[in-house]
């Protein structure tokens, strides 16, 4: 069940190097609660924080809200890298952005060869609507999420295929 799935996810994460960008930002569970941060060489210098420990204890007793997890230097660097990527808009004229969109197409429709009108420079196609986009050009839907949202969809389709397929069926 769910316990087996979590163990499988932990094993996959443990098999990758600690500097892999696909490592979870906070280590442990996705909220970062009840777990120790992922270890790295520069994380050992973090001093013990009595105040944070005390608030965590009180929160576990239900007496206050849980404090935000403390970030190690590696986690802070990763968070800063992600924050910088948030502001990159999707640009349909940029080759690398279009390549990412083509990758999403291949992951979403693996048995469909690229239609001719898709190859001629435009990335508009009616099948995008089947995937859940508002129209035939997904670039318009990336306005608010930017390139990072496209990369997140590619990651989901590649690493968590079951979840991605459920998202497509919604």
Tens-digit pLDDT profile for residues 101-128: 989 988 988 888 776 565 555 678 888 8
Select the more confidently predicted residue: 86 or 16: 86
Q: Is the pLDDT of residue 37 over 60?
A: no
Please enumerate in sequence order all residues whose Cβ is within 8 A of that of 160, keeping only pairs 6 or more positions apart, or say none. none
Q: Is the pLDDT of residue 70 over 90?
A: no
pLDDT score for 113: 73
Q: Is residue 130 a contact partner of residue 118, using CB atoms and an 8 Å limit?
A: no
Q: Is the pLDDT of residue 150 over 90?
A: yes
Q: Write out the H or E segment, with its range, that includes residue 4.
A: helix 2-14
Mean predicted confidence (pLDDT) in 67-77:
84
Q: How far apart are CA 108 and CA 8, in angstroms?
A: 24
Q: How far apart are CA 106 and CA 99, in angstroms?
A: 11
Q: Is residue 142 a contact partner of residue 150, using CB atoms and an 8 Å limit?
A: yes
How many other CB atoms are there within 10 angstroms of residue 78's CB atom? Answer: 19
pLDDT score for 15: 46
The model carries a pTM of 0.59
Q: What does DSSP assign to residue 143?
A: T
pLDDT digits (tens, 9 = 90+) for 124-143: 888 888 888 888 888 888 87
- Residue 160 φ then ψ, to 5°: -135, 65
Select the more confidently predicted residue: 161 or 37: 161
Query: DSSP string covering 6-33, please?
Result: HHHHHHHHHTS-TT-TTS-SSSSSTT-T
Q: Which two tokens stand for residue 89?
A: 């808009």
């Amino acid at each position: 069940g769910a316990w087996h799935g979590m163990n499988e996810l932990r094993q996959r994460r443990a098999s990758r190097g600690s500097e892999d960008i696909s490592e979870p930002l906070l280590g442990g569970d996705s909220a970062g609660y009840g777990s120790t941060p992922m270890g790295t060489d520069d994380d050992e210098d973090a001093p013990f924080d009595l105040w944070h420990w005390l608030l965590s204890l009180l929160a576990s007793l239900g007496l206050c809200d849980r404090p935000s997890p403390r970030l190690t230097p590696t986690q802070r660097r990763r968070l800063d890298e992600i924050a910088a990527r948030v502001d990159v808009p999707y640009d349909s004229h940029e080759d690398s952005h279009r390549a990412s969109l083509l990758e999403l197409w291949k992951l979403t429709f693996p048995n469909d060869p690229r239609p001719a009108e898709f190859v001629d420079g435009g990335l508009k196609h009616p099948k995008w609507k089947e995937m859940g986009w508002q129209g035939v050009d997904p670039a318009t839907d990336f306005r608010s999420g930017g390139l990072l949202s496209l990369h997140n969809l590619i990651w989901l389709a590649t690493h968590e295929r079951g979840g991605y397929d459920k998202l497509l069926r919604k």
